[in-house]
Structure 1
């Protein structure tokens, strides 16, 4: 009932139609995003593309592994409406047909008894009502930052600052991947880069993906030297003023406690999503069993 398709076997017209009509509206599952982040991605389908589940894959040591690429938070099952029975079929097929390192499901998928991670978002609504949900300390920080200048800038203008201050990517090759991804998003008109300036100098910057009715916060960084200006909070507040009436604001989550607390301080709503991952020991055992 669930079929596995190699990348070259996918009918992308039917795939894109399924995504466009899905209740999930999962940005990460879009063909152009997956083609850039995981060019060999494969697909599980139910029926005639009634439900679909993209699976990013890499080949290492002559073995193919299913693993989420950098900058892709959630994939999972997309279809006309949530269906726990069909989602369970996909889950079983994923485990049977792939060697899994790490896979993250969409927050709407009802996959039970798995590890969960947290994402945070603010639903579209009136800005003044949203601001009332800010934590007291966050309201104060935003108020103190009003001397800053909020400005949309070109990626080329902000990139030196981003490369110097971006945290969370220890490997140089991963930093290069981020740089290429930002340029790619800019080339397909999905990227917006904004900054907070103090005395005409960038002291914080954010990169955003804007699609449909959602703003995704891809990256947010500030300068340690100018942390006292609360520039990151200032940027988020300015973005909410601009977009909250028409767009959900998606923080895209974080495993870092300090960053998670920062997101929560704007009154954001937690959206848990299920992940399937295996330890190195479990991977070795699975590899032996699948031979």
Structure 2
């Protein structure tokens, strides 16, 4: 039996790039798919392709920044397929801009799509899900990428959403994970530091796995998948050593940075703490 047989999933931003690959792969694995995209003709092309492949797909076009559209996607899924078992929060945008020259309107738009879109769609989906899986699109840019700070901030938020939702929804049987992929898409092409990499189809098996029951024990994880390498990323945690004193003054703190911490863990030097 196909790994997603009998399941119904919503995939946002599925008109092209990673979303298109996720939708096609999930459908090939047996899922019925709601194809969302802000551009309806692109969403229809993907739904038609899935139908030609013998799969099931319907379109729910509109922006994830509209909470009513988020509700409509879920309603479309339950009306067409009788249930919703999965959500892939793939819709996202990015751009490069130096600090001091960024456009507030573009900043606001990016945060609304990448952060509020993820929140709106998750908020709508969990009301109808009876167990299942949510997959968010993260990025290692969450640690801070020069000339893409708005995008980095949005992906830091997605990491927080993933961890918090996974903990909150555990008792409802809903798993929440994020993938941090590298694939050559229009979005990747907008990254001036990006290097050629594999097509979106190389990432799709990971998303299908996380949507499936075979990943029943996997939740709250940030999964890096790039250049043929797969690994789980830890949530932010203190670097060792952790130093403790009853009281700290400026000299004590300076000594910790300049001597003890730098000598014990070179990571402090890598993150910009130098003598």
Higher-strand-fraction structure: 1
The structure with higher relative contact order (CA 8 Å, sep 6+) is 1
**TM-score, normalised to structure 1's length?**
0.28
**TM-score, normalised to structure 2's length?**
0.29
Higher-helix-fraction structure: 2
